[in-house]
């Protein structure tokens, strides 16, 4: 069977539109019993490409159909998999079939479900060797593209390291069995492999059983210019840059351990931090003894930067720089559900408050000074509010001149003090335009304390809005609480 046959199927297999030889698409297997999911996935991926190649969706409407496809194909890098299909656990059983029966550890499996409660995220990922877990509602076009690019890169790296591993294992076996008879051939093979590894753009290394760097390529030496001075280097996120390279005190991955991968950061020669995806695998002699460890590192610094930028664009209001409506309400939902907002803790410390702010007479600013002045007022108001907030507080633009301010770990009394400080700061603000004109702002504030577990986003917003309307009715430029 030719590579084209493998990619596009035979007469009985799935048929895809055959692209040109220079633009073979990445085949993405979508396993879902909902036709709309397949159609929407095709629409979302229609305009995206990675490494000069588009994405081609292969559809399977049941786990049984997916098994038939995967039994014939070994070129699929990513599976977008539903949990509940012909049975409640059809998707998870398919994962077992891929990993255990087919022995396929390369393919990246992204579990997608519209019923997150049917497959708890932690248990599913650990027990079923799943690479990612997403709610269907969570996968926008950009998030789906980001997930697929990361998965395809991981698949490519695993295929590369597996090929390198097989080459090195063959090299060790051939050198042991045929060294006396085929010294010239063995030397030629060794030079070929070393030259191949040397030309690879990603850092590649091999440490023997004694912990010595028996092989490291040009990219590795450029990243670690002192690698030959006897120092130990790390790619372990739990250690420093100059420790055991392979994550254990001896610098070796124990024999029999599967391929391991993780992301970490190291300091480059110029002092800049580089984000890396590291993949390592142990080597063993024909007798089963540990022979060392091989590894490859892929620079994902730019990918991380793009992910951070995409997240910023997705959560930020472009005019004010505050969070957008969707994200600030998501943060409110997290507080109500007890998740907290701190990255290193599920709790932010007890009570929390929401403050609604409306800039007074904002229409008058637009009408008398122009919409450009209104834009300046929005930006300066947000800057002023932020200057009085704590690092744990968050402000989001709900719409127009209305803002929501989250105060985690704040009692009702403390929230009132903070709201009054914000009101006073806004009232003292003088805004000067480019043409020399200037004006003042005031704001009306409505404060409420979150009351979980019975509270909802709607009920909290409703109370805060009532307090805000009362502040307006009582003359504006004041704080009212409920």
pLDDT for residue 389? 96
Looking at per-residue pLDDT, the higher value among 47 and 372 belongs to 372
Considering the four listed CATH numbers 3.40.1590.10, 1.10.286.10, 3.40.50.2300, 3.40.50.720, the one that applies to the domain covering 3-139 is: 3.40.50.2300
Q: How confident is the model over 251-277, as pLDDT tens digits?
A: 444 445 578 888 888 876 666 788 888
Percent of the chain topping pLDDT 90: 34
Both tokens assigned to 29: 């297997």
Residue 231 has pLDDT above 70, yes or no: no
Q: Are residues 460 and 354 in contact, defined by beta-carbon separation less than 8 angstroms? A: yes
Provide the CATH number for the domain formed by 316-481 in this structure: 3.30.70.270
Both tokens assigned to 55: 């994405």
The CA–CA distances, whole Å, from 388 to 2, 46, 72 equal 67, 46, 62
Residue 85 has pLDDT above 80, yes or no: yes
Q: Are residues 282 and 293 in contact, defined by beta-carbon separation less than 8 angstroms? A: yes
* Residues forming a β-bridge with 411: none
For residue 262, how far is the Cα from the chain centroid?
13
Q: Reading across the β-sheet that carries 352-359, which strands appear in turn? A: 394-399, 402-408, 352-359, 443-449, 479-481
Q: How confident is the model over 363-404, as pLDDT tens digits?
A: 999 999 999 999 999 999 999 999 999 999 999 999 999 999
* Closest-CA residue to 258 (of 170, 167, 161, 193): 161
Could you tell me the residue ranges of all domains in the chain? 3-139, 189-303, 316-481
Least confident segment among 291-295, 404-408, 463-467? 291-295
pLDDT for residue 218? 86
- Cis ω before 453 (30° cut-off from 0): yes
pLDDT for residue 340? 67
Q: How confident is the model over 303-353, as pLDDT tens digits?
A: 888 988 898 899 999 999 999 999 999 999 999 988 766 544 444 457 999
pTM above 0.75? Answer: no
Looking at per-residue pLDDT, the higher value among 459 and 106 belongs to 459
Both tokens assigned to 204: 């590649």
- Cα angle value 312/313/314 (rounded, 5°): 90
Mean pLDDT, rounded, of the chain: 81
Query: Which CATH architecture describes the domain 189-303?
Result: 2-Layer Sandwich (3.30)
């Amino acid at each position: 069977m030719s590579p084209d046959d493998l990619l596009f199927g035979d007469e009985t297999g799935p048929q895809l539109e055959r692209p040109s030889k220079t633009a073979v698409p990445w085949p993405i297997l979508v396993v879902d019993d909902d036709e709309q999911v397949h159609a929407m996935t095709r629409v979302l991926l229609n305009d995206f490409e990675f490494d000069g190649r588009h994405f081609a969706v292969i559809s399977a409407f049941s786990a049984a159909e997916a098994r038939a496809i995967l039994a014939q194909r070994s070129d699929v890098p990513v599976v977008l998999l539903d949990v509940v299909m012909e049975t409640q656990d059809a998707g998870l059983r398919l994962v077992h079939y891929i990993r255990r029966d087919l022995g396929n550890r390369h393919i990246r499996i992204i579990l997608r479900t519209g019923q997150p409660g049917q497959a708890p995220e932690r248990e599913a990922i650990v027990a079923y060797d799943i690479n990612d877990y997403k709610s269907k509602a969570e996968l926008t076009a950009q998030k789906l593209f980001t997930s697929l690019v990361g998965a395809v890169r991981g698949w490519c790296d695993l295929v590369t390291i597996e090929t390198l591993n097989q080459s090195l294992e063959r090299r060790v076996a051939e050198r042991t069995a045929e060294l006396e008879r085929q010294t010239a051939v063995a030397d030629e093979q060794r030079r070929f492999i070393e030259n191949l590894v040397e030309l690879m753009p990603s850092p590649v290394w091999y440490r023997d059983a004694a912990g010595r760097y028996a092989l490291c390529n040009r990219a590795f030496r450029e990243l670690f210019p002192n690698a030959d001075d006897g120092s130990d280097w790390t790619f372990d996120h739990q250690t420093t840059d100059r420790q055991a390279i392979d994550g254990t005190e001896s610098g070796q991955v124990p024999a029999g351990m599967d391929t391991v991968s993780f992301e970490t950061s190291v300091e480059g020669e110029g002092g800049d931090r580089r984000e890396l995806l590291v993949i390592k695998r142990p080597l063993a002699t024909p007798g089963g003894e540990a022979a060392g460890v091989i590894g490859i590192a892929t620079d994902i610094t730019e990918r991380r930067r793009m992910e951070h930028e995409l997240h910023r664009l997705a959560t930020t209001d472009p005019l004010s720089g505050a969070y957008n409506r969707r994200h600030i309400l998501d943060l409110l939902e997290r507080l109500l559900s007890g998740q907290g907002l701190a990255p290193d803790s599920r709790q932010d410390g007890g009570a929390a408050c929401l403050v609604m702010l409306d800039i007074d007479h904002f229409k008058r600013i637009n009408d008398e000074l122009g919409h450009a002045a209104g834009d300046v007022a929005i930006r300066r108001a947000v800057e002023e509010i932020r200057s009085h907030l704590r690092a744990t507080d968050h402000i989001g633009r709900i719409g127009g001149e209305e803002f929501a301010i989250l105060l985690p770990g704040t009692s009702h009394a403390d929230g009132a003090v903070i709201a009054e400080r914000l009101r006073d700061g806004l009232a003292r603000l003088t805004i000067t335009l480019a043409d020399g004109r200037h004006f003042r702002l005031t704001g009306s504030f409505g404060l409420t304390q979150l009351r979980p577990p019975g509270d909802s986003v709607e009920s909290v917003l409703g109370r805060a809005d009532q307090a805000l309307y009362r502040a307006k009715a009582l003359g504006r430029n004041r704080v009212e609480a409920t």
